Amino acid sequence: MRLSAALRHACRTSRSGAGQVRVLSPRGSSTAREERSAGWAPVRGTHYTSGSSGGSSAHSLSLQSRSPRLRAEHQHAAREIIEKSREELASVLKAHPAIKPTLAIIQAGEDDILLEMNTMMAEKVGLNVMQICLPRHCTEEEVIEEVLRLNEDQNVHGVFLCLPPSILSRRILNTIKPEKDVDGVSDLNVGRLVSGALSEGFPSPVAGAVLELLSRQDASLAGKRAVLVGLEGPLKVILQYLLQDAGMEVQTSRWAADNLQKQVKQVDVVVVMGTENTDLLPISVKPGVTVINCGSALMPEISAAEERAREAECWTEIGPISAALRMQNVVRSSVRWVENQQYQTWTLRPLKLQPLSPVPSDIEISRAQTPKPIVQLAEEIGLLPEELEAYGRTKAKVRLSLLTRLQNQPNGKYVLVAGITPTPLGEGKSTVTIGLVQALSAHLKLNSFACLRQPSQGPTFGVKGGAAGGGYAQVIPMEEFNLHLTGDIHAITAANNLVAAAVDARILHEATQSDKALYNRLVPSVNGVRRFSPIQLGRLQRLGINKSDPGTLTPEEVRSFVRLDLDPAKVTWQRVVDTNDRFLRKITVGQANTEKGHSRQTQFDIAVASEIMAILALTDGLADMKSRLGRMVVGSSRSGQPVTADDLGVTGALAVLMKDAIKPTLMQTLEGTPVFVHAGPFANIAHGNSSVLADQLALKLVGEDGFVVTEAGFGADIGMEKFFNIKCRASGLKPDVVVLVATIRALKMHGGGPSVTAGAPLPKEYIDENLQLVSEGCSNLKKQIEIARLFGVPVVVALNVFKTDTEAEVDLVCRIAEASGASAAVPCHHWTRGGRGSVELARAVKETAAQENDFHFLYSLQTPIVEKIRTIAQKVYGADDIELSPEAQAKIEYYNQQGFDTLPVCMAKTHLSLSHMPDKKGVPTGFILPIRDVRASIGAGFIYPLVGTMSTMPGLPTRPCFYDIDLDPNTEEITGLF
């Protein structure tokens, strides 16, 4: 029996590994259905009865067709199963029309008998069938290769192995994902059956068909006897268990057993496997014995005796019912798959902390805790295995497909951690962020996620050290967090410097070649054919040249196409490196003889200052990122027109370099709660926030009642303002509460205390109680609360308590904060106690986030650039007005002409003061804010005015952090990170 011509025409054929793949859709097999409309397909399976009513003899056995009543009952049973499965699948497809549930059949050779039966059943249910025909003498590895591919195919919800027993090894059976093992033969599914947990697995359709046939007999199965002949492996175990569970006495036998005839004479049911002896002659059986051949439902080969019997008679047996049950399992697999795509309740298992006093170093604390395997954490928070890309044992990338899967899931609460104007030592925003999520998840049992920026190597080896938090509120392993992580900054460095190389190469080639030579190299002839690349066609369209044939361009069009005419003096794109290196602040490139005198002055920035980093932090997906990369302006032509990465032809290559960096990295806190680490733009020249994508993913994962806590860089006047006006515009997300971090030492500094220097001992004013300095310094805290309230968002003040702080100082700050408009002010002890030390903060955040707020932007995008700058200067910084330099005024006019005036503004100013003067603490007043220059990050999507002199390349101090960092060559343990 072969596939009909119409059915073969419905197949789509391709090659995958060693197997030929054919996919049959339900609608494609209508002709086959019409050809077989008389009834179910005849399949191999027999019912043997005695030829006489009185006794039996060795030669009295005859093959008889079932009675019309029994045949009709079996057809009805299969139809019932199919109809129920069809209705169940229709319900699934109605709710999720994009899925295409498919049964994949892997077989050796191209025999289509079994395929036709399963295809007919699948068509009645509404399933697709994929046939994979391997060579008849295929190897175990060839089968496993196909199974592994099908495991990863989300449209395949069932895998059926139609292979000879000589190939069907346990290794192959256990390679199938349990959720796709619709024949129920893997060790896990067999174990589930025997242990009574079958709701998580699948029953064997062959065993199920046997039970279905037997259950439709008039008499009860209890007390009857059965023998299983020739059955081996999981099917033998399953049938033996199911028949015994039904109350039957079960024996097993091999075909060659000496006592086979004796066993057969004594039983009521004979279940056989194998084709060489399935006619059972000359074995005698009792009158009315039921004989079932399981091989008819598993293998396409037919013995000569059976083939002759089929020519004479037609019967219905195990084949149709087992095929119907197999389709039922495929449908149930697709239902479970759909259920797994929905939001999953967290099963988070927090890690226990045992804080020590005095508190050890950060790296000692980190190393003392054993993190959970990242795959375990991912499972606990509802991530699917296919959404995770592990980078070792403790960190992993999360694929953006999660956003599509959970697109209808309501977001959780959105919490921003900002700070007062900091000291050079930092005030602990990261530790507050981590302590807060540890308290929410591990202690209040509320789903929560921390979203942090990836630290730059520059500060890690320079002055500040790492940024994983500190004490008992940190991300672990902290050395992995602070060093290479998953390579995102390296990818940004590579992409940024590729653009820089493309800029200088293009300037050189245009200066040293004719139009014709440039054109011939930019659009070369390959095998006698010249074609524009897609990005070149895009450039032609932007130039208004609507041609696609390279041979049809006029000389004027060729010149316009090949000449970017970049002005070397107006190149704005810099090279980057992720190291503090002051001697790269100004360099000269092109001094080698090979550059033919085309030298120019340029500079290096630190990698996190690259516009590509800002793009990574603001993008919402690959398509958006690629578009933003293409819009990046690298300089101006001599005629004053902006030149972009698209014009250079480098956009596609940049997207390739960034394709993995766009995925957030999953890590965990000391208490085993989840953290996303992603992006790390500078907060003084860029917007200084972790990525939009990390926040979006986390908000879906925590659920409607959960919390996502994300951190903004530097003080609220910089990081928070940019979070609201830039990041929230890009993401469309609405914040629920601001946590404003303050420290006694920073408030004392703003109250007139002496300056502090990293690495130097603190003056006594910061160690001894001084309520006057604290009270006067609270002016900065009041101002930062006021800034948050400008945007209509409620504020909770988190006072990061140090051991030198007194109770009177702490109480004073909390009273002033609440009197100044904060919804709550809470002292926090997370550094010494972990999440338990921030429980009161967590409760205050939960209560405040439940309140309605009136979040709004500070300005409209339609507001002129100058007025946007003035609004921020006056309302946020407290300036009387702004003063534009002639260069800044000229730049603004240029951006207006180019249509960039509707972009938000990202102010680049010092983080050490509300003003542009780092030494002016507290709340400076009566000053004019000078705008030295105005630049544009068109790809990132903002204009950034420069307030005073801003360095984009930090320098190393006299004694950098790297003096203390070392590696033990024997244990490979890192020391000196903090």
Question: Per DSSP, what are the bridge partners of residue 49?
Answer: 62
Tokens 């550094």 label which residue?
Answer: 831
Active-site annotation holds for 421? no
For 687, residues 6+ apart whose C-beta sits below 8 A from its C-beta are: 614, 617, 618, 681, 719, 722, 723, 726, 727, 906, 940, 942
For 345, residues 6+ apart whose C-beta sits below 8 A from its C-beta are: 382, 703
What is the Cα–Cα distance from 250 to 683, expressed in whole angstroms?
75
Both structure tokens of 402: 């999660």
Question: Per DSSP, what are the bridge partners of residue 388?
Answer: 398
Q: Which of 119, 423, 431, 651 is catalytic?
A: 431
Question: Per DSSP, what are the bridge partners of residue 905?
Answer: 943
* Helices vs. strands in the chain: H and E counts, helices first: 36, 37
What is the Cα–Cα distance from 765 to 339, expressed in whole angstroms?
61
Q: Which of 202, 461, 831, 942 is catalytic?
A: 831
Both structure tokens of 620: 């919402």
The full DSSP string for 453-467 is PPPPHHHHHSSS---
Q: Angle formed by the axes of helices 515-522 and 488-512, to 10°?
A: 140
Q: Which of 22, 236, 395, 429 is catalytic?
A: 429
Q: Is the Cβ–Cβ distance between 285 and 23 less than 8 Å?
A: no
| DSSP class of 682 | -
β 269-272/225-229 pair status: parallel
Q: Which of 44, 464, 727, 870 is catalytic?
A: 464
Q: State the Rg of the chain over Cα.
A: 36
Q: Which of 310, 547, 570, 802 is catalytic?
A: 802
Question: Per DSSP, what are the bridge partners of residue 677?
Answer: 452, 665
DSSP run (H or E) holding 226: strand 225-229
β 707-711/413-419 pair status: parallel
Active-site annotation holds for 464? yes
For 500, residues 6+ apart whose C-beta sits below 8 A from its C-beta are: 573, 574, 575
What is the Cα–Cα distance from 448 to 698, expressed in whole angstroms?
8
Q: Is the Cβ–Cβ distance between 617 and 679 less than 8 Å?
A: yes
Q: Is the Cβ–Cβ distance between 700 and 406 less than 8 Å?
A: yes
Question: Per DSSP, what are the bridge partners of residue 292?
Answer: 271
Both structure tokens of 951: 């360095």
Tokens 């003067």 label which residue?
Answer: 917
Q: Output phi, psi for 679, to 5 deg.
A: 70, 165
Q: Output phi, psi for 722, to 5 deg.
A: -70, -35
- On the CB side of 927, how many CA atoms lie within 13 Å of its CA? 17
CB atoms within 10 A of CB 719: 25
DSSP run (H or E) holding 930: strand 928-937
What is the Cα–Cα distance from 704 to 693, expressed in whole angstroms?
18
What is the Cα–Cα distance from 951 to 456, expressed in whole angstroms?
15
- Quick one: CA torsion of 7, 205, 333, 22, rounded to 10 degrees? -20
What is the Cα–Cα distance from 949 to 908, expressed in whole angstroms?
9
Active-site annotation holds for 791? no
β 290-293/269-272 pair status: parallel
Q: Which of 714, 723, 927, 942 is catalytic?
A: 714
Q: Which of 192, 372, 453, 870 is catalytic?
A: 453
What is the Cα–Cα distance from 614 to 605, expressed in whole angstroms?
14
For 505, residues 6+ apart whose C-beta sits below 8 A from its C-beta are: none
Tokens 């080639």 label which residue?
Answer: 509
Q: Which of 297, 309, 473, 683 is catalytic?
A: 683
Q: How many residues does the chain have?
A: 978
Provide the edge-to-edge strand list for the sheet that holds 633-637: 566-571, 633-637, 642-644
User: Which is nearest to 274 in space by CA: 286, 257, 288?
Assistant: 257
Catalytic residue numbers, as ranges: 429, 431, 453, 464, 683, 714, 802, 831
